[in-house]
Copies of this chain bind each other. A is one copy, B any other.
Amino acid sequence: MALAAIRTDRETIARSEDHRALRIWLRLLTCTQMIERVVRSRLRSRYRTTLPRFDLMAQLERHPEGLKMNELSRLLMVTGGNVTAIVDQLEKEGLVERLDEPSDRRAFRIRLTKSGERSFTDMARAHEEWVVELLSGLSRREQDELLRLLARAKEHALERISEMRP
């Protein structure tokens, strides 16, 4: 829930030029949250898991040699404390394992177990189907254009962020 100050029904006519930015922001939020809600709900009801766990397993699936906690933290863009708790849960379910890192006794290397690999493959297939279906209303050209605009919005926002002081 992260709705900005804007007219009663979200996407209404802007009061001024500046409101376009607020409307874009609001639409980004509602689109993202709508798809996220569907995905979260499906993962919970069909696989008894959660989206953060799924995402973490997705990162591990792409790195068969495993990832360190701080690498997971960076890739997933969440804090180390959060990664610790999610890895704890997955380890408890036997889906991942913590392996010692010989070159650094502070660190661990997290890897999917065999059970975790099978489980993830199953969920990933369904996940892709859901996302494809939810976004299938856009034509090929519209999808390409949306990708391009989101990429531009992101890179410009990143520029602004690096220029801003906290």
Binds B, one of A97-105, A110-118, A132-140: A132-140
Query: How often does this chain occur in the complex, in copies?
Result: 2
Q: How large, as a class, is the contact surface on chain A?
A: 35 or more
Q: Please state if B153 and A31 are interface contacts (CB–CB under 8 Å).
A: yes
A90 at the interface (CB under 8 A from B): no
Instruction: Report A138-152 residues with CB < 8 Å from chain B CB.
Output: 138, 140, 142-147, 149-152
A6→B164 CA distance, assembly (Å): 30
- Cβ–Cβ < 8 Å partners of A24 in chain B: 135, 143, 146-147, 150
A33 at the interface (CB under 8 A from B): yes
A residues whose Cβ falls under 8 Å from a Cβ of B? 1-8, 11, 18-25, 27-36, 38-41, 45, 51-52, 54-55, 58-59, 61-63, 75-78, 82, 120, 124, 127-128, 131-138, 140, 142-147, 149-161, 164, 166
Q: Please state if B157 and A35 are interface contacts (CB–CB under 8 Å).
A: yes
- Cβ–Cβ < 8 Å partners of A7 in chain B: 62
Q: A20-B147, A149-B145, A160-B136 are in contact. Are A128 and B5 (CB under 8 A)?
A: yes
A11→B152 CA distance, assembly (Å): 12
- Cβ–Cβ < 8 Å partners of A143 in chain B: 20-21, 24
